[in-house]
Structure 1
Amino acid sequence: MLDGLDLIIRTLLILGALLLIARILGRRTLSELTFYDFVIGLIIGNIGSAVITETEFGMLQGLVSLVTATIWLLLIEMISLKFVAARKLIEAEPLMIMHKGKILDANLKKRYYNVNDLLEMLREQGIFDPDQVEVALIEPDGELSVLKKTEYEPPAAKDFNAFKQTTTPASHLAAKEIIIDGKIIEQGLAQSGLTREELTAQLNNKGITNMADVTVAMLTPEGELYVDRQKDSKDS
C-alpha cells in the first residue's frame, strides 16, 4: 500500500512528466487525433496511472517507459516529415468518397462508412442535397472535408455589389431518405407523398430500372429526387 506522502510525490512527478511530454509532442484537439494517436495516448496514460497506483512499478521504470514512448513518437513524426512514402504508410491519406454529386461506394467501404454515416456528416456541414457536392474527402482523422459545386458556394463579399442575395426556403422533407442500399424506406416514402409507381417512374426517367442499383435516393430541399447509383466512378 502507498502511504499518503508517497502517493502525493508520485502523482506530482508523473503529472509533471506528462505535462513536459505534452509540451514536447505538441497539442491536438480530440477531433484531430488519428486512431494511432489515440492508442498511444491511452498507453502513456496507463503508464502514468500504473506508476502512481502500483508499488511494484517503480518511479524509475515509469519514467523510462514514458521517455521511451515519447522518443518513439518523436521518431515517427520526424520520419513522417522527412519521407513522403513513410508518411503514406504511417498516416492514412485523404480518400475521395464523393465526386460531382456521386457517391464512390468502393471508397466509402474502405473507411468502413455506410451511406447513413455519410449523409449524417453532410448534414452536420449544412448540406442536405448531396448533388451540391463537387468533392468530398475523408481525412486521416475521420473528418469529412467538402467542396461544394461553384453554383452552391456562398457569395463572397465582393459578389454582393454585383448580385442580390436570394434565399430558397428549405423543404421540411429535406434529406428524407426514400431508398437506402437498394431498399425502400417505407416511412420516408410515405412522408415524401410519392407512391411506389411514381417513385419507379422517376427512377426510370433517370435510367434506373433496378432499384437494387440505387445506393441512396432522397428529396433535396428544393423537392427534387436525388439518386446515387451503386458503383459510381469519379469520372462518370
Structure 2
Amino acid sequence: MFDMELPWWEFIARGAIVYLALLVLIRISGRRTVGQFTPFELLVVMLLSEGVSNSLSGSDESVSGGLIIAATLITLNMLIATLTARSRKAADLIDGTPVLLGRDGKVFHHVRKSMRVSEDEIQQALHEADCSLDKMKCIFLEADGSITVLQKKPE
C-alpha cells in the first residue's frame, strides 16, 4: 500500500509536467468557466483527467505516490496563484485579458468568431443586462469567460 514503484522525485516531476502542460492547453482552448461548459466541453475535461492519470502515477497505485502527486499539484496551484497575484504580466499571460466584442451597437463578428462566442451568447448577455443592441456602448468577453455589457449613458 505504501511501497512505491517509482522514486519520490519522479512523482513531483510528473505532476509538474502534467500540471504545466494542462495549464497551457486549457489556456489555449478558450475562456469558459466550469458553469459555462457545454456538455461536450465538460466531457473533454473529464476525459482529460482520465487521460493524464497514468502519466501522473506511472502505473504506481501506492497511497504515498498519490499523496505526493496531490501535494505537488496543490503546491503548483498555490505558486501560480501567488505569481499571478504579484505580477500583472503573469496574470495576463495565465489568466488572460478582456477582449472587446463590440462597440456602439455593433458586434465585431470576426472577433466574436475567433473567440468562439455564439450570437446567442451575445444576445443572452444583452438580455441579462437589460440592454438592446442600439443602447450598447461596449461588450467584453472577460478573462473568466463571462460577457459584460456596458450601456450608453441616457441622453
Band the TM-score falls in, shorter-chain normalisation: 0.5 to 0.7
Q: Distance in 1 between matches of 2:107 and 2:90?
A: 29
Matched residues, percent identical?
Answer: 22
Q: Distance in 1 between matches of 2:106 and 2:36?
A: 27
- CA deviations 1:78-134 (Å, max 9, x no partner) are 12122222211111211111211111223212311132331133223333x211111
Could you say if the C-alpha distance between residues 113 and 32 of structure 1 is closer, same or farther in structure 2, counting changes exceeding 3 Å?
closer
Q: Does 1:123 align with 2:113?
A: no
Aligned to 2:147: 144
Aligned to 1:85: 89
Contact 2:95–2:144 at 8 Å: present in 1 too?
no
Q: Distance in 2 between matches of 1:106 and 1:32?
A: 22
Q: Does 1:134 align with 2:144?
A: no
Q: Which has the larger radius of gyration?
A: 1
TM-score, normalised to structure 2, is: 0.58
The 5 A counterparts of 1:13-162 are 30-31=34-35, 43=49, 57-127=61-131, 129-151=132-154
TM-score, normalised to structure 1, is: 0.40
Q: CA RMSD in A?
A: 3.3
Q: Distance in 2 between matches of 1:76 and 1:61?
A: 23
Higher relative contact order (CA 8 A, sep 6+): 2
SS at match of 2:143: coil
Count residues in correspondence: 111
By percentage of residues, which structure has more helix? 2
Q: Distance in 1 between matches of 2:153 and 2:119?
A: 24
